[in-house]
Structure 1
Amino acid sequence: MRVEEISFASLGLVVLDEIRFPNGNLLTDVLGGSGAYATLGARLFLPHQLSRSISWMIHVGNDFPQSIEERLESWGVALKIERESGKPSTRGLLEYKDTIFGPKEFKYTTPVLAIDNDSLKNTSLLESKVYHYLETPQNITTRLAGLLALRKQTGRLERPLIIWEPAPLSCKPENLRACLDATPTVDVFSPNHLELAALFGESPSATADKRKIESLALKFLENGVGPDGTGAVVVRASEHGCLIIARNISPVWLPPFYQSEAGERQDKVVDPTGAGNAFLGAFAVGYLKTANLVEAGCYGSVGASFAIEQVGMPEKSNDERGELWNGVDVFSRLQEYQRTSGML
């Protein structure tokens, strides 16, 4: 992977969250959103020198904190900021119902500022090898068609890898047909286990059974994923880990990095917000590096582990070992995960 190549671009949102806890504590201006966490996941495995191969456009308002902007600049990605001088940034309210980050409610408190296809013109985002979307089934095909048309206009005829996670609120039985119609246009379809169950009208309790998750994922695979049917379904299943299934791959389950039976889980797992998005950014880079879906899943599982160790984003630092996140070398954690999960 040459430094000048653009490897990854997320077209998800950047959101400033207000987080309320049952004890009355309140956090404000917490960086979140699918685009932020997916970019984090990719950035973890593209350290300095390669970090510029991430092209990231964020659409912000007149109240976007300078401190967060400086933090994102410190990641060293090819960051482009689209500003709205007369509008606020996208903001959300996240309310936890208990003290262990379990049930929660989320709602947007300002109008959403998304990245549209017109914003991509004459930018390096059109050069990316992989795109990550969080989008409704009704919108993904339109957005993707527009992206591919823009790339064609600039002479980029090769197809990029498209990773799509369905927008959570669109995961309802009435949208199942639209999802099935959309998956042949993407290369990786990645709902989480609860979203997958919701699309089929199943109760959340059904996801306690891995065989049930497999049977639902198989329905999408049989319907067709990818333009030539060679795409994959990747189900992010929280404490169950992740399921990877493709036409040439029997169902493979990978464990989460922090497993429930591990003694350190309770101390290390702080907030699961953004873990699924971070998984997909790391998965994307893993697939570019290995061309192997299961190995990419290992990258994804490790990427998710860094997202859940705190509220908001992990801390980047450097020492004689090189770049660290939360004081840990990312590739050492990957090797540890591959060893303990039997992938080495």
Structure 2
Amino acid sequence: MNITVVGSTNIDLVYTVPHIVKAGETLHSTEHELFFGGKGANQAVTASQLGANVEFIGNVGADDFGEQVKQNLQEKGVKTEAVQKIGLTGQAIIQVADSGENSIVLFPGANFLVTREQISAAKDKIEASDVLLLQLEIPIPVVEAAAEIAAQKGVHIILNPAPAQQISDSLLGKISILTPNETELEMLTGLKTNNEEDLIQACSLLIQKGVGAVVVTLGEKGSYYMNSNEHGYVQANKVEVKDTTGAGDAFNGALAVGLRQGKSLRESILYASKVAGFVVTQMGAQPPIPHSFRVNK
């Protein structure tokens, strides 16, 4: 399984709080921890821990954090030949409430300095992939450039459209699997997602635009998926939630691995849900994943 991830890296500064802070409110944090994060890095680390050969294309800062981030990727088995050092390392300031829910402020830093030229220089890595994983914490033109290279070679493309923003029909038409949450689905389609009828209408619109399949993540409710042949809910396992940071990224990384194992879309979603369900029981977005989840490289 050769998976290439084009995306972001961050240092996550995590503060445990009784509840998410409100406007004008000051809260004492009961605990503070530093973790490695970034949607792209989270997906890459997950896929690598599950047994995939993973290439990462992106930036870290030319600072101490940047060296730590790159070293962490390497220690987790992710190849970093296409990682450049420039500017300041991206940061995420994360509040984690006692309920397990989180609130995140992003400083993009080096992530917004990834260029189309950088993608062109790593063209061979994308073309040699079975799956290309993308997110939206780097500039959209860079995402589009990576998708164009992959599409021309028939590489399977999974796009997690987060943070929520508009995406061109041209990009959507190249996507094999789109994995929005409910908020992102509403942003992309302009349609409500209050019930299954709404979800069917919204997913159908995206498939009409050329998306191969849509998998809508619904948090503790599981997910809803649709392709040209089937649609339906996939329930999430009940777990004791400690930290939801990185759950969606783990889901996407595991989804890519499941598909490359030859699992069906529904089976891959079940596998991804299981992996994400474990991640939310741990602190941080890149916890060690037990060997029982892993497949052979």
TM-score (norm. length: structure 1): 0.71
Structure 2 equivalent of residue 196 of structure 1: 185
User: Which residue, 274, 289, 292 being the options, matches 1:329?
Assistant: 292
The residue that corresponds to 1:222 in the other structure is: 208
* 1:245 equivalent in structure 2: 226
Structure 1 position 99, deviation (Å): 2.2
In structure 1, the partner of 2:3 is 8
Contact 1:117 1:146 in 2 (8 A): no
Unaligned 5+ segments in structure 2 are: 18-27
Per-residue CA deviations over 1:13-50 (Å, capped at 9, x if unaligned) read 1111222333413535321111122113312321xxxx
Are positions 1:29 and 2:15 aligned together?
Answer: no
The letter for the 1-side match of 2:180 is P
**Counterpart secondary structure, 2:173:** helix
The residue that corresponds to 1:127 in the other structure is: 128
CA, structure 1 residues 251+186, in 2 after alignment: closer, same or farther (shift >3 Å)?
same
The alpha-carbon distance between structure 1 residues 84 and 243, as it changes in their structure 2 partners (threshold 3 A), is: same
**Which of the pair has more CA radius of gyration?**
1
Deviations 1:290-329 (A, max 9, x none): 152112212211221232122214554xxxxxxxx35x61
Query: Cα distance, 1:216 vs. partner?
Result: 1.7
CA offsets 1:95-148 (integer angstroms, 9 cap, x no match): 34x421335242317453554343342563442111111128953773236534
In structure 1, runs of 5+ residues without a counterpart are 2-6, 150-156, 226-230, 260-264, 317-324, 333-344
Query: Deviations for 1:67-107, whole angstroms, at most 9, x for unmatched residues?
Result: 5544432322323363436x2211122234x4213352423
| Counterpart code for 2:146 | L
Residue aligning to 1:55: 55
CA distance in 2, matches of 1:306, 1:44: 13
Give the distance between the partners of 1:140 and 1:68, measured in 2 at CA: 21
1:165 alignment partner, one of 135, 154, 160: 160
Alignment of 1:1-344 (within 5 A): 7-22=2-17, 23-46=28-51, 51=52, 53-61=53-61, 62-64=63-65, 69-80=70-81, 82-84=83-85, 87-96=87-96, 98-102=97-101, 104-108=103-107, 110=109, 112-113=111-112, 115-120=114-119, 121=121, 124-135=125-136, 139=141, 142-144=144-146, 147-148=149-150, 158-170=153-165, 175=166, 178-201=167-190, 206-207=193-194, 209-225=195-211, 231-248=212-229, 250-256=230-236, 258-259=237-238, 265-266=239-240, 269-290=241-262, 292-313=264-285, 315-316=287-288, 325-326=289-290, 329-330=292-293
Distance of 1:99 and 1:202 partners within structure 2: 32
Q: 1:94 to 1:243 in 2, by over 3 A?
A: same
The alpha-carbon distance between structure 1 residues 145 and 124, as it changes in their structure 2 partners (threshold 3 A), is closer
Residue aligned with 1:16, SS: strand
**1:163 deviation in Å?**
0.9
Give me the whole-angstrom Cα distance separating, in 1, the residues matched to 2:287 and 2:159: 27
4+ residue stretches of structure 1 with deviation over 4 A?
Answer: 65-70, 178-181, 200-203
C-alpha change, 1:29 and 1:66, in structure 2 (3 Å) is farther
Give the distance between the partners of 1:168 and 1:297, measured in 2 at CA.
21
